[in-house]
Amino acid sequence: MTCILVVDDDPICLELLSETLIGAGYSVDLAIDGEDAWDKLNSYKHNLVVKI
């Protein structure tokens, strides 16, 4: 399954985009800032990263 890492400091934007992507059949991982995103990138292989 395609896994997308979504990065944004606005929790509402994260939630809206993740719900949309999950509804479209994607696996979604969320990061609230760059440090969190970096940690997640180093621990799991994501197919796409979206920074809002």
Residue pLDDT tens, the chain, 52 long: 899 999 999 999 999 999 999 999 999 999 999 999 999 999 989 999 999 8
Q: Is 11 exposed, middle or buried (0-12, 13-18, 19+ CB in 10 A)?
A: exposed
Map tokens 């929790």 to a residue. 11
Domain boundaries, the chain: 3-51
Strand 27-31 to 48-51 pairing = unpaired
CATH number corresponding to 3-51: 3.40.50.2300
pLDDT value, residue 36: 96
d(CA 28, CA 16): 12
Residue 43 · residue 18 · CB < 8 Å: no
Cα–chain-centroid distance for residue 47? Answer: 10
